[in-house]
Structure 1
Amino acid sequence: MNGSCPVDMECAEELKQVANLAFNERKFQQAIDLYTQAIEANPKCAVYYANRAFAHTKLEEYGSAVEDSTTAIELDRKYVKGYYRRGTAYLLMGKFKEALKDFRQVVRIRPNDPDAKRQCRECEKAVQKIRFEEAIWREDTVRRAVSETIDISAMGMYLSRGNHETKGMNKIYGFDGEVKAKFDATMSDLFQEVFCALPLANVLNGKVIVVHGGLFSQDGVTLQDIRNIDRFTEPPDEEVDDSYTGPRLEGEEVTLEFVKTMMEEFRKQKSLHKRYAYQILLRVNEISKATPTLVDITVPEGSHITVCGDIHGQYYDLLNIFEMNGLPSDENPYLFNGDFVDRGSFSVEVIFTLFAFKCLYPNGLMCELLWSDPQPDNGRSPSKRGVGVAFGPDVTSRFLQENNLELIVRSHEVREEGCQLEHNGKLITVFSAPNYCDQMGNLGAYIRFESDMVPKFTKFKAVPHPNVKPMQYATNFMNFLV
C-alpha cells in the first residue's frame, strides 16, 4: 500500500486491515505507518487512533500512545478501547493516578463486563501495593543507607546504568518482584542503592561516548557537566547449610572458579545462597561508589573492548554472548550499557553474573542520558516515550564537535538487526536481547572496538531458555495489559 488512495472510508478500512495483519505479524512500525495512512484517509475514526496507540505501546512509545488514545476519546467519548489503551500507557509510564481514572471509566461504560471489573481491581491492588512500598522506601531513606545497616563478619568489566536500573521501572517490569521471590526485600532495597552508584556514561579512547539513552534537551552540555551529575539519590550473619550444593566463596574475594560455577548453577535454574549474594552486592556497591559518573576507558593498541546493549533478563542469551565472544577478562573486556534487568524472567541471574565479573575485574543530566532517543529529522522534539527527548542528526553532530568526540554508542531501543548506524554514521544503536520478550523476532548484537575505535559488529539469534514466560515476576496488572 502506498497511501495514494482518495480520502474516503473504504480506502481507510482497507489500510486498517493491512495494518492489522502487520500488527499480528509483530511488524509494529509497519503497522504504525499503515494506521497513519488510514488516519490520513479518514481522520475522524477513533478505532484507527486506538489501534495505532496499541502499536506504539508495543514499541514502548508510551507518550505517543497516550496522545493517540486521547484523540480517540475526543472523537468518541464512549469508546472503551480509547480509555483502556490510554490507561495501559499511563501504567507503563508509572503514572498510576491517571491510569486508574481511565480504567474506572472503562467500568462505568461497561458496568456488566466482568473482564473490565477484574482488570480495574487488579490495577487498584497493584497501585496500592506500589504506593505503600514507595511510602516505606521514603521513610527508610531518612534513616540509613541499606548497605550501612547490613553487618558482614579490574579492567575486565564495565557497567553503565540504564533507565531500567531504577526503582520505578523495577516495580513495574518485574525485577523487584523477582528479587523478592528469589531472595528478600532487603536485597531488593540494596540493589536500588547499587544501581544509583553505577556510572552513567563511558568514553573510549577519548573518541567514542557510550550512553544508554541519548543526548540532551539543550545544546552546550559538556563531558564535565556529565561528570558533575549527582547520581546518588556485610550480609546477614547466617550459616550456609551443608545441604547447599552451589558455589561457595572462600573468604571475601570473588574468584573465576566461583563465577563459572555460579553461571552453571544458574543455567540449571538453581539459586545462589543469600549470604554470597549479599557479599557480591555489597562489593559492587563499594566499587561503584568509587567510580566517577563519566568513565574514561583506554583501549591500547593491540587490545579491544566489546560493547553490549540491553540484556533485559535474558540470561541464556547472555551466556550465548560469552560462548561466542569469550568470558570477560583483562584481555577480553566488556562494557554492558544498561538495562540488564526487567522484562525477562532471569534478571537475577543476569545481574549477579555481571556483578560477579565486576567484582572479579573491578578497575574498570541523568534522565535524558537514560531515556532519550535519536530521530531522523534535525532538531529536538518530544519523546514518543513520554520521557526525555528525541534528538536529531544536528544535535548529535554538535555534541560530538563541542566535546571533541567522534561517535556515540547507545542502546535503549530494539533494532530488528540488533544494531543500526544512524545520524550519518555518527551514532550507533546496539541492542543485545534477541527476540526481545520472546515476541519481537529481532536479532541481538554486540560491538567490538580495537584501539582505532572502528566498530566491528556481531549479530546473533536468540537461544532456547527454560519455559518461564517474560515478566513472570512483574506486577499483576502487567499480566493482563501486555
Structure 2
Amino acid sequence: MEGMESAGTCVDPKQKIDNACPESEEDIKQKAEQFKEEANKHFKEKNYEDAVCLYTQAIGVYPKSAVYYANRSFAHLRLENYGYALEDATRAIENDRKYIKAYYRRASAYMSLGKFKPALRDFEAVVKVKPKDKDAKLKYTECSKIVKQKAFERAIACNEYDKKPIADSINLDTISVESTYDGPKIPDAGITADFMKELIETFKNQKKLHKRYAYQILLEVKKIFFNLPSLVDVTLQKEEKLTVCGDIHGQYYDLCNIFDLNQLPSKENPYLFNGDFVDRGSWSVEVILVLFGFKVLYPEHFHLVRGNHETDNMNQMYGFEGEVKQKYGGNMMEFFSEVFNWLPLAYCVNGKVLIMHGGLCEEDGITLNDLRSIDRNRQPPESGTMCDLLWSDPQMQQGRGRSKRGVSCQFGPDITSKFLQDNGLDYVIRSHEVKHEGYEEQHNGKLITIFSAPNYCDQMGNKGAFITLEAPHLKPKFTQFQAVKHPEIQPMAYANSVMRMPGMF
C-alpha cells in the first residue's frame, strides 16, 4: 500500500514542532512517513479505524501528500464511510492531479453512493492517462454499461404508484413442483416449525427451496407487512424476553449459529432482526427466506425492520439482485423489492426502547407519531425522516454533523437525549455499523449499536453480538460470538462486476 482533517474518525493531533529547533521539510516528511508506515501495518491487519487515525496524523504533519489522503480514503471505504472516502480522494487529487490511485478511490466512493456518472468520469480520467491499462479500460467499460442501463430504466419506468403489484400476478397453482424435487414442502395448512427446521438444514447443505414455496413465503409475508404501521409497538409482559439482532448481510451460517446459541424462534423465544439482512454475503437468499418464513410462522413474535440494504440501489450493487437472479430469476427480484417496501421502519418496546436500523433524524421535533405516519411503500428518498431512520449514524460531538457515508447526517449525545426526553423513551437500539466487539454503548449509555455479522465480509475480524431484553426493566444483556466456518464461496460473489474488481475496495 501507499496513504481529511475533517474526514477522520479520530481527532487530528497535528504534531507540534519544537519552535526552539525548527525542523526541515525533509524531517517533517520523514516523521509523516513513519505515521504512514505504521498506518499501513494496521490496514494490513484489518484495523481500519486505527489506520484512519494514523493516516490522519501523517496528514497533520504533512498535508501536501496525495498518498496519505488516498490511503485514508481506502481505509474509509473498508469502513463504509463513503462520504469521507469521497472527500479524501478529492483532496488527494487536488494535491496531485496525476495520482491515478486517487481517481480509483473516488470512483469507488461514487459507485458505493450510487453516483455512477461521476464515477464514470473518474474512470475516464484514468483511461486517458493510461490508455493501455487493461484493468482501467475494463472498469470504465463496466461503469459505462451501468450508466446506460440506468438511463434506459429511467426512460421506461412508469410511476411506481400506478404499477400493478407483482403479488397480484402470481398464481401458485400454475407453478408445478417436479416429482424429482426432494426438498422441504409447505404443508396445505401453512408453514410449520418442522418445515422451518427442514428449510434451515436444506440451506445448510447448499440446496434450494423450490420456487413455488419461495413465492408462497413472499406472498404470505407481504400480507403481514402490509397490515403493519411504519412504527410497530411491541409489549413484553413481566419476565418475557426479546432477542435483538443487528446486520446479518447474507452470512447464513452465522445466522444459524445465532439460533444454535439462543435457540430457534418460537412464541416463547421471540426475535427482532434490525435490518440489512441481505447483500455482501453470498447466502442472502437463504437468510431472507428463513427470516421471512419465521415471520409467517410467528407473526406476533418474530419482527423485522427495514435496513438501508433492503433497497433497489443497494441490491443492484452489493449482490442480492445478482444472487436472486442466479438462484430464482429476475421476476422474483421484483417481488422481493415489492415486499421490502412494506417492511416496518422502527419498533418500540413497551413504550421505552426505540429500535431502528440507522438512527435519529436531521430535523428536530420528530415524534413517535411522526414515525408511525410515514408512507413507507417506496424506495427511500435521499433525505427526510425515512432516509434518516435507514442511514444516519451517531457521533461523539454535540449537535449534528455531515454524514461520513454521504447520506443523511450524524447526531450527537445531546440530540439523542432531547429525542428520548421528548418521546418518553429510555434508550435507542440501532445497527448499521460494524463494531469490533459486536456492539457499542454510546451517548451516555442511551444509544446502543448492535451488529450480528461476525468477521464481516470475511475481512473485518469483528465479533458478532445480540441483545436480550427482559421485561419489565429492559436492561440490555449482550451475547458475543465469533464467526463460524462456511463453504468456500467468497463475499460479494454475486455483486455488480465493477464492485468485485481488484483495486476498488
The alignment's TM-score, normalised by the length of structure 1, stands at 0.80
Q: What is aligned with 2:420?
A: 400
SS of corresponding position for 1:448: strand
Question: Conserved in 2, the CA contact under 8 Å of 1:126 and 1:476?
Answer: no
Question: Conserved in 2, the CA contact under 8 Å of 1:246 and 1:273?
Answer: yes
Residues 421 and 254 of structure 1: is their aligned pair in 2 closer, same or farther, counting only changes over 3 Å? same
- Report Cα offsets for 1:160-202 as digits up to 9, x if no partner: xxxxxxxxxxxxxxxxxxxxxxxxxxxxxxxxxxxxxxxxxxx
Q: Indicate which of 98, 103, 107 corresponds to 1:78.
A: 98
Q: What is aligned with 2:226?
A: 289
Residues 276 and 148 of structure 1: is their aligned pair in 2 closer, same or farther, counting only changes over 3 Å? same
Q: What is aligned with 2:396?
A: 376
SS of corresponding position for 1:459: strand
Q: What is aligned with 2:209?
A: 272
How far apart in 2 are the matches of 1:477 and 1:466? 24
Q: What is aligned with 1:326?
A: 263
1:126 Cα deviation after fit = 3.6
1:138 Cα deviation after fit = 4.1
The letter of the residue matching 1:464 is: K
How far apart in 1 are the matches of 2:157 and 2:259? 36
SS of corresponding position for 1:295: strand
How far apart in 2 are the matches of 1:133 and 1:324? 44
Residues 287 and 303 of structure 1: is their aligned pair in 2 closer, same or farther, counting only changes over 3 Å? same
Structure 2 portions without partners, runs of 5+: 1-11, 18-22, 302-384
1:132 Cα deviation after fit = 3.9
Residues 139 and 250 of structure 1: is their aligned pair in 2 closer, same or farther, counting only changes over 3 Å? same
Is 1:479–2:416 an aligned residue pair? no
Identify which range, 77-86 or 471-480, moves more after superposition: 77-86
SS of corresponding position for 2:285: helix
The letter of the residue matching 2:108 is: T
Residues 131 and 248 of structure 1: is their aligned pair in 2 closer, same or farther, counting only changes over 3 Å? farther
Is 1:306–2:243 an aligned residue pair? yes
Q: What is aligned with 1:421?
A: 441
Is 1:21–2:4 an aligned residue pair? no
The letter of the residue matching 2:446 is: K
Q: Indicate which of 382, 401, 406 corresponds to 1:386.
A: 406
1:139 Cα deviation after fit = 6.6
- Report Cα offsets for 1:212-266 as digits up to 9, x if no partner: xxxxxxxxxxxxxxxxxxxxxxxxx121011000001122511111111111000
How far apart in 2 are the matches of 1:265 and 1:128? 39
Q: Indicate which of 58, 66, 72 corresponds to 1:46.
A: 66
Q: What is aligned with 1:98?
A: 118
Q: What is aligned with 1:367?
A: 387
How far apart in 1 are the matches of 2:490 and 2:172? 36
Q: What is aligned with 2:478?
A: 457
Structure 1 portions without partners, runs of 5+: 154-236
Residues 327 and 134 of structure 1: is their aligned pair in 2 closer, same or farther, counting only changes over 3 Å? farther
The letter of the residue matching 1:460 is: F
How far apart in 2 are the matches of 1:137 and 1:283? 27
Q: Indicate which of 4, 8, 30 corresponds to 2:50.
A: 30
How far apart in 1 are the matches of 2:95 and 2:191? 60
Pairwise mapping of residues 174-213 of structure 1 onto structure 2 (< 5 A)? none
Residues 479 and 141 of structure 1: is their aligned pair in 2 closer, same or farther, counting only changes over 3 Å? farther
SS of corresponding position for 1:88: helix
How far apart in 1 are the matches of 2:50 and 2:172? 54
RMSD: 1.7
The letter of the residue matching 2:102 is: G
SS of corresponding position for 2:163: coil
Is 1:242–2:179 an aligned residue pair? yes
Residues 101 and 252 of structure 1: is their aligned pair in 2 closer, same or farther, counting only changes over 3 Å? farther
Q: What is aligned with 1:259?
A: 196
Identify which range, 94-103 or 134-143, moves more after superposition: 134-143
Question: Conserved in 2, the CA contact under 8 Å of 1:252 and 1:279?
Answer: no
How far apart in 2 are the matches of 1:141 and 1:21? 52
Q: What is aligned with 2:489?
A: 468
Question: Conserved in 1, the CA contact under 8 Å of 2:116 and 2:146?
Answer: no
The alignment's TM-score, normalised by the length of structure 2, stands at 0.77
Number of residue equivalences: 399
Residues 138 and 16 of structure 1: is their aligned pair in 2 closer, same or farther, counting only changes over 3 Å? farther
How far apart in 1 are the matches of 2:235 and 2:162? 39
Q: What is aligned with 2:355?
A: none
Residues 436 and 138 of structure 1: is their aligned pair in 2 closer, same or farther, counting only changes over 3 Å? farther
Is 1:435–2:469 an aligned residue pair? no
SS of corresponding position for 2:479: strand
How far apart in 1 are the matches of 2:160 and 2:447? 41
Question: Conserved in 2, the CA contact under 8 Å of 1:28 and 1:58?
Answer: yes
Residues 253 and 131 of structure 1: is their aligned pair in 2 closer, same or farther, counting only changes over 3 Å? farther
How far apart in 2 are the matches of 1:290 and 1:378? 38
Question: Conserved in 2, the CA contact under 8 Å of 1:45 and 1:75?
Answer: yes
How far apart in 2 are the matches of 1:95 and 1:252? 47
- Report Cα offsets for 1:30-66 as digits up to 9, x if no partner: 1110111111111111111111111111100000111
Q: Percent identity?
A: 55
1:81 Cα deviation after fit = 1.4
The letter of the residue matching 1:473 is: Y
1:360 Cα deviation after fit = 0.2
Structure number with higher relative contact order (C-alpha < 8 Å, ≥ 6 residues apart): 1
SS of corresponding position for 1:341: coil
Q: Indicate which of 129, 132, 139 corresponds to 1:119.
A: 139
Question: Conserved in 1, the CA contact under 8 Å of 2:224 and 2:299?
Answer: yes
Pairwise mapping of residues 146-165 of structure 1 onto structure 2 (< 5 A)? 146-153=166-173
